[in-house]
Amino acid sequence: MRLVKITSAVIATLLLTGCGRTGESSLSGEKTAVTMVTAVSSEETSAAEPESRKLTLDLSESGDGRVLSASLTGLFGDKVRFYESGSVLHRDLVGAFGQAVTVEGDISGGAALEFEYDPGNMGMVPPEDLVVLYYNEEDDAIYEEVRSELDTAAHTISIVLSGEGDYLLADGYEWYSAWDLDVSRFTSHESLLKNEEYGFEMTLPEGMEQSIPGDEPNFDENVTVTAVYNGKTKDANGKNVEMNIDLIDYPACASAESYIREIAEAVSQWEQEVSVGSFGCSDGQTAWYYTYAADPQYGQHLGVQCAYPITDTQYIKVAFGYDDEAWEEIALTSLRTFRFYDKRMPEDGTPDRQEQGPEVSPEDITFTLPANVTASPEVNILSEEAIDLFAFDWSGADGITGMSIVEVDSGWGASTEIDHFREWQDWYEVTETCETKLSSGGEGCIAASVSKADGGYFFMGAYDLSMNRIIKANVMLDANASRETYDSIMDFLKSIDIRK
């Protein structure tokens, strides 16, 4: 038996500081009998005359549904009680897996407890990472890991009972990670993507990293597309593999199937082969997808898109684009791990960016303009992610073809924005970079580049604003711009400061 001395007081601290899962504020350990199953034997048995008995609880509709049942077997009388634990403490425990159960009464004759898990509803947790925790509030209120036996064929994990108290399964990696203990015997969850806004999680392909969001085309003006996640990695040949996750709100469609079939038909003008299919998700839903092979002149010519229904007209769409045929199976394997653990839409009444306006006033941004350029504060909401802050007039300037300063919901800081700009190597060659310090305490990062298409110059400055938002300045020069103009643009970008 491995002992982890973690008291209920420490767990309470976790819940209040956000390390545990969100739940009710009460930490009551009150036990409420939710299900009571009688012994298999139909004979009357006195509590004083223990006999071999088996009590079984159906847990498939309890907790997160990942534990299907629990069975108590051993020599004990009919005074032994076996029921679902009603303790909020266990439900909100970091790493908790399925429903906790309670054993009360004399089990000194010996008893075993067996949990049956749902192999199709494991999320990122391999069966080998499951541990059984024992909690007895009468014994210093500590959690202990109990030695267990795993049967992957029967999908069960069983233990010999330590005594009266509560027992529950937990994800060993998440549980021990929370206490900074050794997790070398468990599988890392670093490839788990968990989205709390819509309540879903999935396993990302190895090496997938978050990247700059791209534009998602709408094939119908009545479709609303909201970017949720964008990722990028490389295939075995060094070519890009791209992934994006979007929320689709499409009132004209009545199901995920009709949405996938419609979008597949809409883009068939450049796709040479389209195949539509479906599979069952671990949360019991059916997801629809299509794979395609397109003309290589359109870029990545292979891919798959899959829709998971939130409602009949709202879906989470996950898409992969790649050039290597081997990635089709990798993408589908990742798609099959998707599950809603707490399906939901953002709460009604949450103000969107149009209602909130920019986080910083144009008056809080200072800079020195290049010669013959003027600027005036003018807030213009471009999208939910971007707000233009100034109107520039560069008509009298030498070689300038575009200027803007925009507040952007990037999801990362200034340095990461410039790092991602370097990934645009197919279009631009970065020739110069530098950094600045802002009065607000943040960082400014600047990059100059040359367009591989026409030899023109593209400058980007990124400036920290808050955790997920930055100020971004872009300037474009034509290929014939003078060195003096080039230097004046670099000076302009270096002069930008945020006083907020």
Residue boundaries of the structural domains of the chain: 2-178, 192-340, 353-498
Q: Which of 144-153, 189-198, 344-353, 460-469 has the lowest mean pLDDT?
A: 344-353
Instruction: Judge if 192-340 and 353-498 fold alike in CATH terms.
Output: yes
3-state secondary structure 314-382: EEEEEEEEECCCCHHHHHHHHHCCCEECCCCCCCCCCCCHHHHCCCCCHHHEECCCCCCCEEEEEEEEC
Q: Could you say which DSSP state residue 189 is in?
A: -
pLDDT in tens, 257-270: 998 998 888 776 65
Q: Which residues contact 221 (CB under 8 A, 6 or more apart)?
A: none
Whole-number Å distance between alpha carbons of 404 and 392: 7
**Confidence check: pLDDT of 473 > 50:** yes
pLDDT in tens, 16-61: 233 333 232 222 333 333 333 333 333 343 444 667 899 999 998 8
Distances (CA, A) of 379 to 8, 210, 385, 389: 51, 29, 14, 5
Average pLDDT over residues 454-482: 90
CATH for 353-498? 3.40.1000.10
Angle at CA of residue 192, ends 190 and 194, nearest 5°: 130
Q: Which two tokens stand for residue 273?
A: 């082969």
Q: Are 186 and 173 in contact (CB under 8 A)?
A: yes
pLDDT in tens, 367-411: 999 999 999 998 887 766 778 899 999 998 989 999 999 998 876
CATH class as words, domain 2-178: mainly beta
**Confidence check: pLDDT of 83 > 80:** yes
CATH for 192-340? 3.40.1000.10
Distance of CA 76 to the CA centre of its chain: 46
Tell which wins on pLDDT, 437 or 12: 437
Task: List 94's β-bridge partners, or say none.
Answer: none
Report if pTM > 0.75: no
Closest alpha carbon to 285 in 192, 194, 200: 200
Q: Could you say which DSSP state residue 62 is in?
A: S
Whole-number Å distance between alpha carbons of 54 and 48: 17
Strand order in the sheet with 2-7: 2-7, 142-146, 130-136, 165-171, 96-104, 81-84
Q: What pLDDT, on a 0 to 100 scale, did the predictor assign at position 357?
A: 59
Of the pLDDT bands very low, low, confident and very high (cuts 50, 70, 90), residue 159 is very high
Amino acid (one-letter) located at 333:
T
Tell which wins on pLDDT, 74 or 1: 74
Average pLDDT over residues 130-144: 82
Q: Residue 414: CA atoms inside 13 Å, Cβ hemisphere, count? A: 27
Q: What pLDDT, on a 0 to 100 scale, did the predictor assign at position 217?
A: 45
Backbone angles phi, psi at 450, to 5 degrees: -115, 130
pLDDT in tens, 180-214: 888 889 877 667 788 878 888 888 888 888 765 54
